[in-house]
């Protein structure tokens, strides 16, 4: 009874706090500009199933993909056991599904156990890739400090979680062998693949009292880890395990080369070319609101850009394939995403504290991302291609450029010259438009 109350309390606090944080993040994302990503739902579902659920894009790098898949599969399947823990925790039962599910129960838990061992091995591999092998993309400058700790912390939590599972199942098995299980008074075995070995080898030598203690530590440890993990997510790159799904659903379905045409500009250009045109003829919404051209701060980006930022796993696949980064330039598409997220968190917190119109005098462009980074991009789309959850750093970079050029007239001098040439003579170089066909008569 006491433990049931404790369990319910823990759950309420855990889920309540998580919900609170999720709502905060949701309201942050909603600070972004409008963009419609609701068309073509069947293609969107398909993309989500393939890319998020099926992890299709991960497999362009098979080794990490396989390791990641172990952790991912273990995580997904363990949720089944978690349901039982919930039911047991609230009702005060023990292994409530065993009776009803029978052989399938044994199979499921065994499956979870095998996946947990694989996940454990993968976790050790991940830890060593980060800390011993020091893979370049996992040890770059932008990961110094919190991001590095975050990555290691979650891996350690994973290890603890798996240990709890085996303490729980192993001790329970030993108790069952001794005929002292909570499940039934008769002696027997659950027959779970891994814990039956653990239980039968050394755990069975422990006293019943100690085994009960270990089993309870495992059980409570597990559920406490689950709630800690859940509440840690919103502060961590590991939030991707949830956001990967909506993020891929709302993917850009157009060709990657297509950059959006700014509607506000279309209206003005139409007026310039034809002064008799109706200034309100084009889509009114964007013309009614006075919007900045491009993006100076996170609130100028679209909500999808902001969702991207919260979804980013900081894996660095984008950066390791970025031609600018490969050749030593400051630009790193991963950093673009991390900066966007960090700035958004800052803006959101400030708005909640000081009101919606609060300005802190800072901005994404300038205080987080420098002009040097913005101008180093070749718009090659390698980052977009590589991202395992369809994040688009390029569209942020483009909007930052638009702001620099159209609002601040700040750009490298050669580009200013190039733009003048296009405006004056219809080519990026100083050639007269009248000479455009000269090639046809030259040898």
Partner 1 sequence: MSLKVPTMAEMTAQGETPDVLFWVGCAGSFDDRAKKITKALVKILNHCNVKFAVLGTEESCSGDPAKRAGNEFTFQMQAMMNIQVLNGYSVNKIVTACPHCFNTLKNEYPELGGNYEVIHHTQLIQDLINTGKLALENGGVYKGKKITFHDPCYLGRANDVYDAPRELIEKLDAELVEMKRCKSNGLCCGAGGAQMFKEAEKGNKEVNIERTEDAFETNSEIIATGCPFCNTMMTDGVKNFNKEAFVQVLDVAELIANAAEL
Residues in contact with partner 1 by CB under 8 A are: 60, 254-259, 261-262, 265-266, 268-270, 272-273, 293-294, 321, 323-324, 326-331, 372, 375-382, 384-385, 398, 401-406, 411-412, 414-415, 417-419, 422-423, 426-429, 431, 433-440, 442
To 5 degrees, how large is the angle CA 5–CA 11–CA 16?
A: 130
Q: Which stretch binds ligand SF4 (CB under 6 A): 122-130, 197-205, 288-296, 332-340?
A: 332-340
Handedness of CA 65, 66, 67, 71 (dihedral sign): positive
The first and second tokens of residue 356, run together, are: 């919606």
CB 112 within 8 A of CB 74: yes
191 binds ligand SF4 (CB under 6 A): no
Handedness of CA 187, 188, 190, 192 (dihedral sign): positive
78 binds ligand SF4 (CB under 6 A): no
314 binds, among partner 1, ligand SF4, none (CB under 5 to 8 A by kind): ligand SF4
By CB under 6 A, name the one of 386, 396, 398, 400 that touches ligand SF4. 386
Nearer to partner 1, 78 or 321 (CB): 321
Tokens 């994973």 correspond to: 158
Q: Is 369 helix (H, G, I), strand (E, B) or coil?
A: strand
Minimal distance, residue 425 CB to partner 1, in Å = 9
Minimal distance, residue 287 CB to ligand SF4, in Å = 30
Minimal distance, residue 197 CB to ligand SF4, in Å = 38
Q: How far is CA 99 from CA 117, 184, 190, 253, 393, in A?
A: 26, 11, 11, 48, 51
Minimal distance, residue 38 CB to partner 1, in Å = 18
307 binds, among ligand SF4, partner 1, none (CB under 5 to 8 A by kind): none
The residue count for binding ligand SF4 (CB under 6 A) is 28
By CB under 6 A, name the one of 381, 406, 417, 425 that touches ligand SF4. 381
By CB under 6 A, name the one of 246, 323, 366, 417 that touches ligand SF4. 323
- Nearest-CA neighbor of 218 among 18, 197, 108, 210? 210
**Residues in 260-319 that interact with ligand SF4 by CB under 6 A:** 312-318
167 binds ligand SF4 (CB under 6 A): no
Nearer to ligand SF4, 181 or 321 (CB): 321
Q: Which stretch binds ligand SF4 (CB under 6 A): 77-85, 191-199, 266-274, 373-381?
A: 373-381
Minimal distance, residue 362 CB to partner 1, in Å = 22
Q: How far is CA 341 from the centre of its chain?
A: 11
Nearer to ligand SF4, 94 or 329 (CB): 329
Minimal distance, residue 21 CB to ligand SF4, in Å = 20
The first and second tokens of residue 429, run together, are: 């170089």
151 binds ligand SF4 (CB under 6 A): no
394 binds ligand SF4 (CB under 6 A): yes
The first and second tokens of residue 130, run together, are: 């980060």
Minimal distance, residue 32 CB to partner 1, in Å = 19
318 binds, among ligand SF4, partner 1, none (CB under 5 to 8 A by kind): ligand SF4
User: How buried is residue 148: exposed, middle or buried, by Cβ count under 10 Å (0-12/13-18/19+)?
Assistant: middle
Q: How far is CA 373 from CA 75, 314, 342, 398, in A?
A: 37, 18, 17, 12
55 binds ligand SF4 (CB under 6 A): no
28/13 Cα distance (integer angstroms): 23
213/301 Cα distance (integer angstroms): 53
Q: How far is CA 137 from CA 162, 289, 334, 335, 409, in A?
A: 27, 41, 10, 12, 34
CB 286 within 8 A of CB 300: no
333 binds ligand SF4 (CB under 6 A): yes
337 binds ligand SF4 (CB under 6 A): yes
Q: Name the strand (E) or helix (H) holding 199.
A: helix 195-201
316 binds, among ligand SF4, partner 1, none (CB under 5 to 8 A by kind): ligand SF4
116 binds, among ligand SF4, partner 1, none (CB under 5 to 8 A by kind): none
250/265 Cα distance (integer angstroms): 25
339 binds ligand SF4 (CB under 6 A): no
389 binds ligand SF4 (CB under 6 A): yes
| Cβ density class 216-252: b for 16+ within 10 Å, e for less | eebbbbbbebbbebebbbbebbbbbbebbbbbbbbbb
Minimal distance, residue 422 CB to ligand SF4, in Å = 22
Residues at the interface with ligand SF4 (CB under 6 A)? 312-318, 322-324, 331, 333-334, 337, 377-383, 386-387, 389, 391, 393-394, 397
């Amino acid at each position: 009874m006491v433990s049931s109350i404790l369990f319910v309390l823990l759950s309420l606090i855990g889920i309540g706090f998580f919900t609170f944080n999720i709502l905060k993040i949701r309201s942050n994302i909603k600070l972004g500009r409008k963009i419609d990503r609701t068309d073509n739902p069947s293609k969107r579902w398909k993309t989500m199933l393939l890319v998020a659920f099926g992890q299709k894009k991960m497999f362009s790098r098979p080794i990490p993909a396989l390791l990641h898949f172990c952790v991912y599969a273990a995580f997904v399947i363990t949720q089944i056991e978690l349901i039982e823990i919930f039911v047991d925790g609230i009702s005060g039962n023990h292994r409530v599904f065993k009776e009803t599910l029978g052989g399938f129960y044994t199979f499921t838990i065994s499956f979870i156990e095998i996946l947990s061992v694989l996940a454990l091995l993968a976790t050790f591999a991940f830890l060593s890739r980060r800390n011993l092998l020091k893979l370049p993309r996992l040890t770059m400058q932008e990961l110094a400090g919190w991001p590095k700790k975050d990555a290691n912390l979650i891996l350690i939590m994973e290890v603890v979680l798996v240990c709890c599972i085996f303490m729980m199942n192993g001790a329970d098995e030993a108790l069952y062998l001794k005929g002292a299980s909570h499940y039934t008074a008769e002696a027997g075995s659950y027959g779970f693949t891994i814990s039956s070995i653990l239980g039968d080898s050394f755990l069975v030598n422990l006293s019943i009292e100690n085994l009960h203690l270990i089993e309870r530590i495992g059980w409570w440890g597990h559920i406490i880890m689950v709630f800690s993990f859940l509440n840690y997510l919103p502060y961590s790159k590991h939030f991707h395990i949830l956001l990967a799904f909506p993020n891929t659903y709302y993917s850009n379905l157009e060709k990657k080369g297509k950059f959006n045409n700014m509607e506000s500009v279309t209206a003005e250009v139409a007026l310039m070319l034809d002064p008799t045109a109706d200034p309100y003829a084009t889509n009114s919404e964007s013309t009614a609101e006075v919007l900045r051209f491009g993006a100076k701060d996170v609130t100028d980006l679209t909500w999808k850009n902001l969702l991207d930022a919260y979804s980013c796993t900081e894996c660095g696949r984008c950066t390791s394939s970025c031609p600018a980064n490969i050749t030593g330039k400051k630009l790193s598409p991963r950093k673009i995403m991390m900066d966007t997220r960090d700035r958004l968190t800052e803006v959101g917190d400030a708005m909640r504290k000081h009101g919606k119109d609060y300005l802190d005098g800072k901005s994404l462009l300038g205080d987080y991302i420098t002009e040097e980074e913005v101008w180093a991009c070749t718009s090659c789309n390698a980052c977009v291609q590589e991202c395992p959850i369809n994040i688009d750093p390029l569209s942020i970079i483009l909007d930052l450029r638009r702001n620099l050029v159209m609002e601040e007239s700040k750009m490298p001098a050669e580009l200013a010259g190039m733009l003048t040439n296009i405006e004056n003579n219809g080519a990026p170089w100083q050639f007269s438009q009248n000479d455009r066909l000269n090639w046809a008569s030259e040898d």
